[in-house]
Every structure is written in C-alpha cells, then in structure tokens.
C-alpha cells in the first residue's frame, strides 16, 4: 500500500526508471506541497540513485536562506508568483548535484486566497542544467487542500519527465 494514488506512483516509477537509465538526478523545492513531491519519488524502490535532495521552503525566509530567492522578488511579486518559482528552481538546481529540478509555490487553501491570487493557484517551474526551463501557472480552483496538493504533484512529476524527454 502506498501513501499516494496509483497514477502518481506510476509516474514516479517511470521517472525513477528513466532517470536511473540516464544516470541523472533530480531535486525538488516545495512550498505548498511540503515535501510531497520528493515523498512521491522516494516512495519508489531505487529512488536513492535518482533523488538528490528536497528543499521544503514554506516560509519566505526559508526561500531566501535555502534557495537564494531574492527578498525583492518576494516583496514585488509575492511568494506565489512565476518569478519566485523560477528563482526557487534555479536555487534547487544549483544547490544540489541534480541535473533537473522542480519547484512549486501556491495557495492550497482553504484560506489564503485573494481575487488576484485565488485558492488553487500554483506556479511550477522545472529546469535542467542544460538550460531548459518550463513554467506553468495552474488554476486548480478551490477543490480542497489535499486535491490541490495532489494535482500539483501530478503536474510537477509530468514536468520533470518532460525535461528528461527533451
């Protein structure tokens, strides 16, 4: 029995298999998912060959201290923004031994939303050392905290897999 739904496990298994075959590692930088992306990957046997490290940066100070996110970025754009997600993924990549990193920051709810940044808004970024960067702005809606987090894990894993395939 797994902590995660079967579709997430299947995607994580494919990532672990493909990254192992390619000799690549991944790192994660997570805010709204609180380490669950790394958790999904490490649910898979053999993940120690692939998962380098995960950064759980729930607060702004953690984003600054652990990932090098600029305080000015957080003040100007907020923690839940494309700019912050991009700086988070850059920090995760260059503060690890991974070839690919993924970062997520969002509002899982039930509170914390605003008209400009509603509950269910998540910014995700994935980056490879080769330079490819993908950003996605997802509006999952107010579908419940757990469902926003699960949807974010699904999107993040898909982005990691797409960078490997690129």
pLDDT tens string, the chain, 166 residues long: the values are 789 999 999 999 999 999 999 999 999 999 999 999 999 999 999 999 999 999 999 999 999 999 999 999 999 999 999 999 999 999 999 999 999 999 999 999 999 999 999 999 999 999 999 989 999 999 999 999 999 999 999 999 999 999 987 7
Fold for 6-165, please state it: Maf protein (3.90.950)
**In whole angstroms, how far apart are CA 30 and each of 18, 20, 88, 103?**
22, 23, 9, 6
pTM for the full predicted model: 0.97
Sheet containing strand 133-139, edge to edge, reads 51-56, 26-30, 100-106, 121-128, 133-139
What residues does each domain of the chain span? 6-165
DSSP state of 10: H
* Coil, helix or strand at residue 59: coil
């Amino acid at each position: 029995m797994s902590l995660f739904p079967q579709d997430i496990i299947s995607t994580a298994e494919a990532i672990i298999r493909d990254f192992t075959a390619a000799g690549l590692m991944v790192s994660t930088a997570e805010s709204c998912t609180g380490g669950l992306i790394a958790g999904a990957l490490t649910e898979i046997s053999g993940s120690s060959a692939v998962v380098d490290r995960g950064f759980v940066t729930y607060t702004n100070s953690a984003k600054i201290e652990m990932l090098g996110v600029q305080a000015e970025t957080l003040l100007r754009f907020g923690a839940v923004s494309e700019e912050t997600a991009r700086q988070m993924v850059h920090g995760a990549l260059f503060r690890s031994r991974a070839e690919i990193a993924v970062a997520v920051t969002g509002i899982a709810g039930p509170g914390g939303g605003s008209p400009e940044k509603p509950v269910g808004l998540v910014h995700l970024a994935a980056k490879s050392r080769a330079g490819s960067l993908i950003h996605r702005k997802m509006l999952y809606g107010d579908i419940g905290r757990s469902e926003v987090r699960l949807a974010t894990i699904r999107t993040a894993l898909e982005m990691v897999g797409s960078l490997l395939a690129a």
